[in-house]
Structure 1
Amino acid sequence: MTRLQTTLGQFSFDSCVMNASGVHCYDRTELDDLRASKATTFVTKSATLNPREGNPTPRYKAVPLGSINSMGLPNLGIDYYLDYLETVEVGESSPFLSVTGLSREETHTLLRKIQSSSYNGLVELNLSCPNLIGKPQLGYDTEGVNDLLTEVFAYFDQPLGVKLPPYFDLTHFDQIAEVLNQFPLTFVNTVNSIGNALYIEDETVAIKPKNGFGGLGGSYIKPTALANVHAFYQRLKPSIAIIGTGGVTSGRDVFEHILCGARLVQVGTALQEEGPAIFDRLEAELRSIMAEKGYECLDDFRGKLHYL
């Protein structure tokens, strides 16, 4: 009998797959769908202080090996998601409340609002949205990340993690890991979509915002996502758990994320295309792979990638 239980900080989960923020988590109806599915938990849309409509449409396009999007953080505002989470019991497991500030000041306002609320579950600080027009990704500013987290942990004492952009240079892994290891983070989530890709159909771009430039997701990015998961598994202190995100369409993809060191695995593009029923399939496929290889639990192979 295979067991899919996993832990993250003080919380435990019956399985290891869930949604990625931004997909099927906009409002109560979608969040209720996730809670009724085989997803082990859920994460909300990345909330800003006030509701946002996001970028003009069309802003999402399914393409042969994944998707391209420039959503621009459409969300219903932090108060909406805090109100919803008050209806969810945070026990041994926890949902994730994702937030992102449009400025450093807004980030602190969001986190102080959470700190003073009744919510005591996991919080994800999104440092990596590539689709905000005129706003750079803070995750690529190592000094800026250090300064922000120094300010945040001066007052914030709830379990907090960060969502990161993909990195492409070993030196950059070293630099950002050195910063993250200084703080009592519960987790890192890696990766967000690869920013500013361009997909062309005939002679026209596929989405409207930014003249077609958007975040790339799906199978296109799985090798990059796996590299980031494993690079951080090698560099971060053991108390910081890793959530693997990117390119998950099958149980084999979930298996590879865990093999690289992930404790939880998030699904984005494939969830958008298949709906919450995907979690039943992913769990069944993962169990089948584990049974074939003789693995009884995730710890039997987590982080145990073989090298040549």
Structure 2
Amino acid sequence: MADLSTSIAGVKLPNLFFNASGVCCQHEEELKTLLDSESGSLITKSATYEKRLGNPSPRYVPLPGLGSINSMGLPNEGYEYYLEYAKKYDYTHEKPLFISLSGLCLEDNVKMVEAFVTADLPCILEVNFSCPNVPGKPQLGYDLEAMENALNVLAPLIKKPFGIKLPPYFDIAHFDAAAAIFNKFDNLSFVTCINSVGNGLAIDFETETALIKPKDGFGGLGGTMVLHTALANVNAFYRRLPNKKVIGVGGVTSGKEAFLHVLAGASAVQIGTQLKEEGPQMFSRIKKELEDIMIAKGYKSLDDFRGKVKTL
């Protein structure tokens, strides 16, 4: 049998798969479907300080054969909802709980982090640096100075191991500069990459109309079309962050893409678009497909091939 277990932030996951924050995780009943599935963990919707309804619909549209486009606008129940969920979560369950926080400003992130630290819960925090923060400013992951400033404030507050969600980077110099920042923070335990590829535009050929309503049709791209960008980011940070873990996200529709993420260096794999389209029963299929691939290739554990992609 192939062993799919892994660990993130010093906590064991029975298998490497869970949802990408944003999919099937806004409400408690959705989180329950993840608990009842064969995922190895679960993460909540990215929480803002106050509840948000998000952008007007249509704000998510599947693109058959390619993936999806969305401009959700961070709909969520507000951080207190997820804090209460975390307080009553059964931590004897084999699935660890990850909490995603996405303050619209640093002050909001500080207040949310402080609330979770005060509660002293075994959940694992992931701070989302890949959503817009201040109007007219780039998302935090693209403002390296602001990102380092945020980590200087948040890392000492959190104290225990935590992670950050990142946008995709496209330049080697940006991989180097971002990694140099991350390596300064010992309790920054993992990076999750990638969030959607920002500001794509999908147009219906027949109606000549943008497919989503917000931002004049501009939205984040996910699914199959972002796989290779995701693999590049996973591998770039795996190589540059020797004392941290990487969670891979992007383009996973089967066990094959999950295998490639691990081969690139991922310690865990989150799934978004495919989960949205197929539902949580997807985890049992993809888990079995990855097991079959590993057995066929003679790998007994993820450690046997993690990060071992060959180059020419």
TM-score (norm 2): 0.95
Q: Can you list the C-alpha shifts for 1:195-219, whole angstroms capped at 9, x where unaligned?
A: 0000000210000000000000000
Report the CA distance between 1:82 and its aligned residue. Answer: 1.1
* Structure 2 residue aligned with 1:80: 81
Within 1, Cα distance between the matches of 2:170 and 2:292?
33
* Structure 2 residue aligned with 1:249: 253
* Structure 2 residue aligned with 1:170: 172
- Mean alpha-carbon deviation: is it higher for 127-136 or for 212-221? 127-136
Within 1, Cα distance between the matches of 2:157 and 2:280?
37
Tell me how large the CA RMSD over aligned residues is: 1.4
Indicate which of 143, 148, 151 corresponds to 2:150: 148
Indicate which of 213, 217, 220 corresponds to 1:212: 217
What's the secondary structure of 2:114's corresponding residue?
helix
Within 2, Cα distance between the matches of 1:51 and 1:62?
26
1:94-109 residue pairs with structure 2 within 5 A?
94-109=96-111
* Structure 2 residue aligned with 1:125: 127
Within 1, Cα distance between the matches of 2:3 and 2:142?
37
Q: Can you list the C-alpha shifts for 1:240-266, whole angstroms capped at 9, x where unaligned?
A: 110000000000000000000000000
1:11-30 residue pairs with structure 2 within 5 A?
11-30=11-30
Contact 1:115 1:158 in 2 (8 A): no
Q: Which amino acid aligns with 2:210?
A: V
Indicate which of 180, 190, 213 corresponds to 2:193: 190
What's the secondary structure of 1:45's corresponding residue?
coil
Contact 1:82 1:119 in 2 (8 A): no
Q: Which amino acid aligns with 1:68?
A: I
1:213 to 1:245, Cα distance in 2 relative to 1, 3 A: same
What's the secondary structure of 1:83's corresponding residue?
helix
Contact 1:124 1:162 in 2 (8 A): yes
- Mean alpha-carbon deviation: is it higher for 80-89 or for 51-60? 80-89
Report the CA distance between 1:90 and its aligned residue. Answer: 3.0
* Structure 2 residue aligned with 1:277: 281
Q: Can you list the C-alpha shifts for 1:174-197, whole angstroms capped at 9, x where unaligned?
A: 000000000021110000000000
Q: Which amino acid aligns with 2:44?
A: T
Q: Can you list the C-alpha shifts for 1:101-130, whole angstroms capped at 9, x where unaligned?
A: 111111111111111114232100000025
Within 2, Cα distance between the matches of 1:9 and 1:30?
24
Indicate which of 285, 291, 296 corresponds to 1:292: 296
What's the secondary structure of 2:191's corresponding residue?
strand
| Structure 2 gaps, min length 5 | none
Within 1, Cα distance between the matches of 2:134 and 2:111?
19
TM-score (norm 1): 0.97
What's the secondary structure of 2:181's corresponding residue?
helix
Contact 1:23 1:268 in 2 (8 A): yes
Q: Can you list the C-alpha shifts for 1:272-306, whole angstroms capped at 9, x where unaligned?
A: 00000000000000001001000011101000001
Report the CA distance between 1:136 and its aligned residue. Answer: 2.5
Report the CA distance between 1:133 and its aligned residue. Answer: 6.4
Within 2, Cα distance between the matches of 1:277 and 1:204?
34
Within 1, Cα distance between the matches of 2:129 and 2:155?
16
- Mean alpha-carbon deviation: is it higher for 185-194 or for 80-89? 80-89
Q: Which amino acid aligns with 2:8?
A: L
Q: Is 1:225 the equivalent of 2:226?
A: no
Q: Which amino acid aligns with 1:232?
A: F
Within 1, Cα distance between the matches of 2:9 and 2:76?
27
Identity %: 49
Contact 2:190 2:247 in 1 (8 A): yes
Report the CA distance between 1:84 and its aligned residue. Answer: 1.1
Contact 1:130 1:214 in 2 (8 A): no
Within 2, Cα distance between the matches of 1:56 and 1:115?
34
* Structure 2 residue aligned with 1:263: 267
Kindly tell me the number of residue pairs found equivalent between the two proteins.
Answer: 307
Q: Which amino acid aligns with 1:82?
A: L
* Structure 1 residue aligned with 2:114: 112
Q: Which amino acid aligns with 1:148?
A: A
Contact 1:130 1:195 in 2 (8 A): no
Within 2, Cα distance between the matches of 1:5 and 1:153?
27
